Amino acid sequence: MAFLLLKPLRKRLGSDRDYYRMLDDIFGLYPNNIELYKLALIHRSASLSVNGRVINNERLEFLGDAILEGVVSHYLFIEFPGGDEGFLTKMRARIVSRATLDALAVSMGLDKYIRSRFPGGCANKHVHGDAMEAMIGAIYLDKGYDYANRLLINRIFRRHLDIAQLTSTDTDYKSRLIEWCQKSRRTIEFDSGFSNGSTSRKPLFKSKIFIDGEEVGYGFGETKKQAEQWASYSVSRALSDEIGDFLLQSIDMQRNDKAHL
């Protein structure tokens, strides 16, 4: 009884009242452990130091990513009973992509509560999507998997996710990757052919991607085109953030090392 009386007081008068209100407004939940959710909103750029430990949302983000993959897989399995493995895999990749998670966080209003030190906003750093995953990790730890599953499907996916649009959007990763290389003034080559274990009845292709002569990724598929798309997807996932810059620097360093041999 006392707990029920304290709930509205914490929401209205406590030092963490803004967090309680946010969780109620956005997720429709009352937390058991408010500290988990506060931690989920601390990006690594705004990390805290407590007794020599660095505190941010990266561990919760790691956990939330795994929970999200499981929930999305279950959701798509039920939502598309006729979808084959390739279709379900592609749809899952679109839903859990950084672009989709960034958009979800902004649509829900979560971006207003994130603690980050990026000047002038943080949309290009995937801070929003990272916080979204961290919040899912916090919900899982605080409420359990079944609760997180129901909340994601019934409150978040059905309200904020346009499944029809995601289904109709056919992303051409190869074209996007070629365009990115052209803008970055980099050469790109695809080395595609039959993979080991391929047979006439069940062909399997492998495609390797070379940027400025250095291998940066590969993919498999039942056709050459499919293999090149999956290879492009594996590389494209890294090119929209700081990892892309690191990739280019690594390529340049390898080229310089070879030039001095």
Domain boundary among 137, 168, 199: 168
Domain assignment present for residue 241? The answer is yes
The two tokens of residue 119 are: 């000047």
Rg over alpha carbons for the chain, rounded to the nearest Å, is 22
Domain assignment present for residue 163? The answer is yes
Phi and psi of 171, rounded to 5°? -75, 125
The dihedral through the CA atoms of 188, 251, 245, 137 has a sign that is positive
41 and 144, same domain (yes or no): yes
The residues, any chain, with a CB within 8 Å of residue 168's CB and separated by 6 or more, are none
Q: Please report the pLDDT score of residue 131 as a whole number.
A: 94
50 and 125, same domain (yes or no): yes
Domain boundary among 115, 136, 168: 168
The larger pLDDT score, comparing residue 109 to residue 50, is at 109
126 and 246, same domain (yes or no): no
137 and 238, same domain (yes or no): no
31 and 156, same domain (yes or no): yes
Q: Please report the pLDDT score of residue 83 as a whole number.
A: 79
DSSP alpha helices (H): ranges in the chain?
A: 2-13, 17-22, 34-40, 58-79, 85-95, 98-108, 127-143, 145-150, 158-160, 163-168, 173-183, 224-236, 242-259
In the chain, the number of structural domains is: 2
161 and 177, same domain (yes or no): no
Which residue segment(s) compose the domain that 207 sits in? 173-259
Q: Write the pLDDT tens digit of every residue in 201-243.
A: 778 889 999 988 888 888 888 788 888 888 887 787 666 554 4
Domain assignment present for residue 8? The answer is no
132 and 225, same domain (yes or no): no
113 and 242, same domain (yes or no): no
204 and 229, same domain (yes or no): yes
Domain boundary among 168, 202, 237: 168
CATH assignment of the domain containing 85: 1.10.1520.10
99 and 197, same domain (yes or no): no
Query: Mind telling me the catalytic residues?
Result: 65, 133
Domain assignment present for residue 191? The answer is yes
Weakest-pLDDT range from 43-57, 62-76, 114-128:
114-128
Domain assignment present for residue 7? The answer is no
The two tokens of residue 29 are: 């939940």
CATH assignment of the domain containing 200: 3.30.160.20
Weakest-pLDDT range from 52-56, 62-66, 207-211, 254-258:
254-258
Q: Write the pLDDT tens digit of every residue in 151-204.
A: 999 999 988 888 777 776 555 778 878 888 887 788 999 999 998 878 887 788
Instruction: Name the percent of the chain lying above pLDDT 90.
Output: 36
Domain assignment present for residue 24? The answer is yes
Angstrom CA distances, 228 to 42, 163, 168, 241, stand at 38, 26, 21, 22
203 and 160, same domain (yes or no): no
Across the chain, mean pLDDT equals 82
190 forms beta bridges with 209
* Alpha-carbon gap, residue 166 to 164, rounded angstroms: 5
161 and 99, same domain (yes or no): yes
Domain assignment present for residue 130? The answer is yes
Q: Is the pLDDT of residue 19 over 90?
A: yes
215 forms beta bridges with 210
Domain assignment present for residue 4? The answer is no
